[in-house]
Amino acid sequence: MDRPDEIKKFYLENIPGAKLKGNYLNAPCPLCSTSSRVKQGIIAVDLDPLSFFNGYFRCLNRCMPGGFPLHFGRIMGIDPQNVPGYDPDREAYVRDIVYPVKNLNAEMKKFRSLMNKSEYAHFEEFGISKAVVDEMGIGYNGRYLVYPYLGEDENCYAARCVLPGRSEDSFWHGEDTSASDEFRIFNILEIDRCEEGTLFITDGEDNLLTLKELGYPGIAFPLFADLEMLDVDRLEFINHVFLVMNNSPEAQLSARVLATRLGFKARILRWPSNSERGYNLCQLSRDKGKDFKAAVSSIVKASKSFSPFSSPEKEHRNFSRLMEREKGKKLLGMSSGFEKMDLALNGIRGLNILGAQPKAGKSCFFIQISTDMSKRKIPVIYYDFENGRQKIYTRTLCRLSRLPEEHIRRKDLDEKKSQRIRRANQDFRNVLDFFRLVTDRKLSPDIMRRQIDFLQRETRQDYTLVVVDSLHKLPFKNLLERRTGIDEWLRNMEAIRDEQNVSFLVISELSRGEGGHYGKKPDLGSFKESGDIEYSADNAMILLPDWDPVDPISIEERKSTLWLVASRENSPGKIAEYVLEYPLWSFKEI
C-alpha cells in the first residue's frame, strides 16, 4: 500500500462517520468532545495524493489546531505503530533550554479579555476572523496588540507588543531571558503538529494569521532577519517547508540563506513580478478578498524545490551571452596593452599571479596595465597594501605626461610641458571613471564581492579587473597561519572569478634562496608561502630584473624579463623583455 492510500485507510478507520467526497474526508469532529466547545463541528481531511497537504486535518469549528496523522494519533491516543509515518527509531528533538520560573499565562488571559470590536476590526481589514485571533491567543494591553510566544512546554514566556497599524512600533514583554532568540518563534507548537507533513514559514504575525484563516499550518518570525536563528534540526521531520517572505531583496536573501540550510525540502514562494516592494500576505488578502485562497494556492502550485544551483535555462543563457560577446575578438581576455604579453596569455583573463623580488617594479607594471585598461573603459579595482594612494596617482600622472615627478611639482614649467601636464590630468580624470583604488586593510572576500558588484553597476559593465598588491599583505584572521590564510584567499578569488566574471592580477612575493639571495631561474617553487598557487592560478608569472633593484643609484638600463612558469592553457616560457623608463614609471615592451 502506498503512502496516500495508507493515510486514507488510517482516517477512515479512526474517524466515526467519515464520508469521502472526492479527495476530501468529512465527518463529525471527534476532537470537539475533548475541548470546551459545546457544539460539535466538522473535521475535514485533505486526502489528495498529489497535494502537499495530503493527510492534513482540521476542525472547521477550530476546537483545536489541526495537523498531520502523527499529531492526530497522539490526540486520539492511537497506538503509534498504527499511524502512517511512525518511526520507532526516531529520536525526538530536544533543546537545552532552561525555562524562566515566571510565565505570562495569567497576563495573557487578562490581555485577551481586553480585546474588543476596534481591535478585531484591525484584523478584519486583512480578512482575519475573530475565531483565528482567539485561536492564536492574541490580546490587547490598552494600547498595543499582544502576540503570545509560547515555549515548547505550552507556557507563554514572551510576548511581542505591536501598535495596530504601525508594526515598526513594537517591544518585547517578559523577562530578558524569555525574550531571547530561542523564544522568538510565533506558534512554535505547530512544528510538532506538522511532523511528516508541510509547514509555512513567514515573517510577521499577521501574515501568519492570513494563512491560518485559510486553514494552512505555519509559524512566523517577527522579522525576516530573525530567520537566521532557526535551528534547522527542529524541522528535520517536516517534509516540505514553504517560505513566504515580504517582497524585498533583503527578505528574499534571508529566505535563500535558510533554504540553503534546509535543503531540498524548502520552497521559496515567489511574488508576481509586478508586486510592489514590501508586498506581503496581509496586503494580498486585502486586495484579493474572497479570491485570496485561490491566489495563495496558485503561488504554492507554482513553487519549486529550492536549489542552490543555477537553472539549466540560466546557465545556457549566460553561456550564450558570453559566446556572443567573444565573437570576432582576437583575444579571449582583455588586452594588457603589451602585445607579446597578450599573445602569450591570450589576453588577461582568469587568475594571474606575478612574482618578483622587492623593488623589481611589479607594482609599477600592474599599475600601468590597470590604468591603461581603465582608460579603455574597463572597470578596475586596485587593492593596494604597499604603495599608498598618493604614490600610485603621482606615478600614473608621470607616465601619462612623460615627465618626472620633480617636473610635475614645479611651478615654472615652460608652456609645452605645462600642456603635457594638462592633457595628462584630463586623461587621468578619465581613468578615474573606471578605476577604484582601495586601501582598506579590513578587506574580506565578502566585502570584495560587494565592491565588485557596486563597480559593475556603476559602470554598467558585467566584467571587472581586480588587482591585488599584494597577496601576502591581504588581511588574515591569524597572522600565525598566514600560509593557510593566503590559500583561503586564493580559493575565494577562484570563486569570485567564476561567479562575477572577474579577471585577477595578483602580486606575490618570492622566497629567498641560499644566502638570502633571489634565484635567477624562474620556477613555480619560487613563490612564497603558498602551495595553492600551483593549483589556483590560471597563469603564474615571474619578472626577473637584469639590473640590481637594491641599488638606488643604479645607472644601468632597467631591463627585466617576464616568464610564464605555469599555465592552464598556455605554453610556459619567456614572454618578453621590458625596460622600465625611470623616472617616468613606465614599462616598454621590447
Same domain for 114 and 69: no
Among the candidates 48, 66, 82, a domain finishes at 82
pLDDT of residue 197: 96
Range of the domain at 462: 339-589
Same domain for 343 and 286: no
Contact status, residue 242 vs residue 199, Cβ threshold 8 Å: yes
Same domain for 168 and 78: no
pLDDT of residue 552: 58
pLDDT along the chain (590 residues), means of 10: 91 93 93 70 93 94 93 94 89 70 92 95 95 95 94 90 90 70 84 96 96 96 90 92 94 92 91 90 94 93 80 78 73 90 94 92 96 96 94 95 92 90 94 94 91 93 94 76 83 93 94 72 78 85 87 72 93 95 94
Same domain for 554 and 462: yes
Closest CA to 344 of 500, 495, 538: 538
Same domain for 183 and 129: yes
Burial of 422 (0-12, 13-18, 19+ CB in 10 A): exposed
Same domain for 268 and 394: no
Same domain for 57 and 116: no
Backbone angles phi, psi at 161, to 5 degrees: -100, 120
Contact status, residue 342 vs residue 372, Cβ threshold 8 Å: no
pTM: 0.61
Side chain identity at residue 322, one-letter code: L
pLDDT of residue 515: 67
- What region does 285 belong to: left with phi over 0, alpha with psi -120 to 50, or beta? alpha
Residue-wise DSSP of 506-560 = EEE-B---GGGPPPSS--GGGBSS-SSHHHH-SEEEEEEESS-TT-TT--S--EE
Side chain identity at residue 479, one-letter code: L
- The answer to whether residue 315 sits within a structural domain is no
- The answer to whether residue 22 sits within a structural domain is yes
Domain count across the chain:
3
Count of Cβ atoms closer than 10 Å to residue 535 Cβ: 12
pLDDT of residue 79: 94
Same domain for 153 and 285: yes
Segment 28-72, tens digit of pLDDT: 999 887 665 557 889 999 999 999 999 999 999 998 899 999 999
Burial of 155 (0-12, 13-18, 19+ CB in 10 A): middle
Q: Is 78 helix (H, G, I), strand (E, B) or coil?
A: coil
- The answer to whether residue 347 sits within a structural domain is yes
Among the candidates 243, 278, 302, a domain finishes at 302
Segment 497-548, tens digit of pLDDT: 999 999 999 999 888 767 667 767 787 878 877 667 888 899 999 999 988 8
pLDDT of residue 209: 97
C-alpha cell at 489: 584567499
pLDDT of residue 34: 65
Q: What is the CATH number of the domain that holds 16?
A: 3.90.580.10
Closest CA to 508 of 540, 476, 460, 550: 540
